[in-house]
Amino acid sequence: MSDFSVPGLLSIQVAGAVALTPLLVGVMRQTRARLEGRAGAGIAQPWRDVRKLLAKEPLQAAASGPLLSAAPLVLITSSLVLCALVPLVGTPTLDRVPDDLFVVVSVLLLGTVALALLGLESGTAFGGMGSSRHMTIAALVEPTVLVAVYALSIPVGTSALSAIVAARVASPSSVVSPVGLLAVVALGIGVVAETGRLPVDNPSTHLELTMVHEAMVLESSGRDLVWLEVGSWLRLTALLGLLVNLAVPWGVATTLSVQAVLVGVAAIVVKLVAAGIVVAAGEVFVAKLRLFRVPELLAGSFVLAFLAVTASFLIGGAP
């Protein structure tokens, strides 16, 4: 059997992310339900929700503009591009499609801005409140993600995510180095905040005093709501996948052979499910922070990322 091509690998990666993401969300919800003493709706419930909403026409207010329809498409498109750029299954990439750290953060920011504009376009107090909180959190999270991964890029000499992950696969000692540990912890806090999980945001609440993401999508329905929810889930899959591949890089395909790609697919599925269970279990025992305490947590994560950069320079670029 011939080896995969790079476009084939990226197609597998994106298609796998789309297929796995609802199940990942279902596993996380089911884990929380079991630990809280509830039966839960089952891990396939997100898929059933998507199928139901796809059959419904979106409803919009008479005075609403085209942004209510455009923002969900921008979010789902940016999320799919993010899943293609982040090395989830393997590190081989296209020459003209850079998986550079700054490109990935820019694509991430594009979806963030689309969500914020959606909340403002709805014209409701809840939407504006959610957008304000969302951009406040994003202004603190994006630099943390950027600096944390930059710390890992210094020993490699490039900001390409595929090269960073490949270097960590080739050098297991970098996983437990001070630079690696500080950067991964900082990135983990940033991923939790960026994807709207506890203790920064509660994805299962509709209380106006606590919700952030839900406040921005309250006026969306039908297919528009599907694109928003699936887009947000794909961001969770991409960022959580990047985190686990940087923390536990083994299994990531560094070649295009059939065996390496199949191992890469199996590895990312196992790592994502395990990470999802850990995140969901942690949410059960962690209360949501007050809004004005969130910047303190995110500032702490930025300090960890900055220390990782400092340690990387002090070590002299050694992995």
pLDDT digits (tens, 9 = 90+) for 99-111: 899 999 999 999 9
Mean per-residue pLDDT for 163-170? 93
Rounded average pLDDT over 24-51: 94
How many angstroms separate the CA atoms of 108 and 24, rounded? 20
pLDDT of residue 319 exceeding 70: no
Residues 157-182, mean pLDDT to the nearest whole number = 91
Predicted local confidence at residue 91, as pLDDT: 93
Euclidean distance between CA atoms 197 and 188, whole angstroms:
11
Ranges 190-204, 221-235, 243-257: which has the least confidence = 190-204
Token readout for 245 is 């591949």
pLDDT in tens, 257-270: 999 999 999 999 99
∠ Cα 200 201 204 (to 5°): 150
Predicted confidence at residue 288, as pLDDT, reads 85
Residue 73 has pLDDT above 60, yes or no: yes
Long-range contacts of 232-235 (CB under 8 A, 24+ apart): 232/75, 232/79, 232/115, 232/195, 232/196, 233/21, 233/22, 233/24, 233/25, 233/46, 234/17, 234/18, 234/21, 234/76, 234/79, 234/80, 234/82, 234/83, 235/79, 235/82, 235/108, 235/111, 235/194, 235/195
Over residues 220-235, the mean pLDDT reads 94
Q: Among positive and negative, which fits the CA dihedral 298, 301, 307, 308?
A: negative
pLDDT band, residue 212 (cuts 50/70/90): confident
The answer on pLDDT for 62 being more than 80 is: no
The percent of residues above 70 in pLDDT, for the chain, comes to: 96
pLDDT at 317 over 60: no
pLDDT tens profile 99-142: 899 999 999 999 999 999 998 887 788 888 889 999 999 999 99
Average pLDDT over residues 201-214: 75
Q: Residue 318: its pLDDT value, please?
A: 43
More confident residue, 62 or 272: 272
Write the DSSP assignment of the chain as a string of letters: -PPPPHHHHHHHHHHHHHHHHHHHHHHHHHHHHHHTT---S-TTHHHHHHHHHHTS-----TT--THHHHHHHHHHHHHHHHHHHS-SSB----TTS--BHHHHHHHHHHHHHHHHHHHHHT--HHHHHHHHHHHHHHHHHHHHHHHHHHHHHHHHT--BHHHHHHHHHH-GGGGGSHHHHHHHHHHHHHHHHHTT-TTT--TT---TTT-SHHHHSTT--HHHHHHHHHHHHHHHHHHHHHHHHHHS-TT-B-S--HHHHHHHHHHHHHHHHHHHHHHHHHHHT-PPPPGGGHHHHHHHHHHHHHHHHHHHHHHTS--
Mean pLDDT of the chain: 90
pLDDT of residue 187: 96
Distance CA 213, CA 115 (A): 8
User: 181-201, pLDDT tens digit by residue?
Assistant: 999 999 999 999 999 888 888
- The residue type of 12 is I
Check residue 182 and give its pLDDT.
94
pTM beyond 0.85: the answer is yes
Whether 146 and 105 have beta carbons less than 8 Å apart is answered as: yes
pLDDT confidence of residue 316? 55
Q: Look at 141-155, 156-170, 205-219 and tell me which has the smallest mean pLDDT.
A: 205-219
The pLDDT-based confidence of 297 (bands split at 50, 70, 90) is very high
Tokens of 172: 């297991």
Specify the pLDDT at position 296.
93
- Least confident piece of the model among 18-27, 139-148, 158-167, 307-316: 307-316
